[in-house]
Amino acid sequence: MINSSPNTVSLTALPPLALYIHFPWCEKKCPYCDFNSHQIKDGVGKAGFDEQRYIKALITDLETELPNIWGRHVHSIFIGGGTPSLLSPEGMDELLSAIRARVTLEPDAEITMEANPGSVETDKLAGFAKAGINRISLGIQSFQDEQLKALGRIHNGAEAKRAIDIALKHFKSVNLDLMYGLPNQTLEAAKADIETALSFNTPHLSFYNLTLEPNTYFANFPPKLPSDDEIDAIFEQNLALLEKAGYKRYEVSAYAKKDQECKHNLNYWRFGDYIGIGAGAHGKISFPGKITRQVRERHPENYMQAMETQGNALIESKEINAQDLPFEFMLNTLRLTDGVDTHTFSERTGLPLNVISKGIAEASKKGLLDENPLKLKATDQGLRYLNNLQEIFLG
């Protein structure tokens, strides 16, 4: 619930700026995946896709955004997918060099690449590190062969462990993506997965509940998943194991050792800005008097053709209505276990706090929002029923 919102946005300062790059291809589409990813086809270049053509389109895409971010520094880059590790190290070096030539990167910029353990090789990862990648996120999901097969992954448990060992030798920071609530998963099997992950002592772990997303294979042919009670038991068990091992839950699905949080994702959740380039990429850019969102062509071929023929692949570019800003802000920031300082609301939306005062009162009364007036922070109950909490701020 929000109060009547003013029609104008007035930002006294612009938020931090990040860069997201979408790589849309993968070797095999996973049955649970609803991301914009496309299985590579034989015969399109050595790698199954035209790397040079796509890199050229990305660089042109970035150049179209430069007038919107003049004078601003980029503090993080995240290359997601799909499977960005299908790129060659030479292609990655070309891309990052082009970015450095066009934007001002912070000296300690976090540069993350997602990677599939099935496409990890020692020389390739060494090449990515040399190109400037300093953080890698490995899509492990599970260490058990039976589960990996059920999830449609191209790697097995041994390859997952090997990939982690290689990554730890080459990158300053390594994240492991893990899933729970998997088909027929038991409490013991989930415990074995998390204990194996913890044995590598990586600085960051992501721990997701498998959900059946619309327009996926699993949505049409659902596997037998654990019950809600069993999933809750798995979560509570593994949360205790993570905390005991020194990982702090700082976001609904993210856990980190001290000072090892993902800077790029924190920027999303704190309602920061980000340029989004690549097929299907989304972006959010703030100006003193407005906040805008953009969406690019989703299909790789349509995206590249649009960049080549029009110099622009936008399918949507709009100013966010002031009435919608409170919900968008709370949708993101309430995912953080520590929440945000109350003044961040006005800093990032350009709106006075009183537009959500009724929502704050209602959420606090229901025990979903912390009553500390200096914080916008979900209670433990609020994190458990996050959708209910967020909906209170829907205009």
Give the pLDDT band (50/70/90) at residue 389.
very high
How many Cα neighbours within 13 Å face the side chain of 120?
29
178 exposure class (CB count in 10 Å sphere: 0-12, 13-18, 19+): buried
Residue-wise pLDDT for 265-282, tens only, equals: 999 999 999 999 999 999
CA-nearest of 239, 209, 212 to 223 is 212
CATH code, 325-391 = 1.10.10.920
Residue found by looking up tokens 């706090």 in the block? 353
Give the pLDDT band (50/70/90) at residue 42.
low
Indicate the average pLDDT of the chain: 93
Q: Is the pTM of this model over 0.75?
A: yes
CA max distance for the chain = 61
Q: Is residue 107 helix, strand or coil? A: strand
Distance of alpha carbon 308 from alpha carbon 313, whole angstroms:
9
Residue 390 has pLDDT above 70, yes or no: yes
Chain-centre distance for alpha carbon 219:
22
CA-nearest of 117, 111, 122 to 158 is 117
DSSP 33-71: --SS-EE--TTSSTTSS-HHHHHHHHHHHHHHHGGGSTT
Residue-wise pLDDT for 110-166, tens only, equals: 999 999 998 788 999 999 999 999 999 999 999 999 999 998 888 999 999 999 999
Taking residues 330-339, report their average pLDDT: 97
Taking residues 292-301, report their average pLDDT: 97
Residue 44 has pLDDT above 60, yes or no: no
CATH code, 17-268 = 3.20.20.70
Give the pLDDT band (50/70/90) at residue 4.
very low
Q: Is residue 161 helix, strand or coil? A: helix
CATH 3.20.20.70 domain position(s) in the chain: 17-268
CATH 1.10.10.920 domain position(s) in the chain: 325-391
Taking residues 365-383, report their average pLDDT: 96
> What single DSSP character describes residue 378?
B
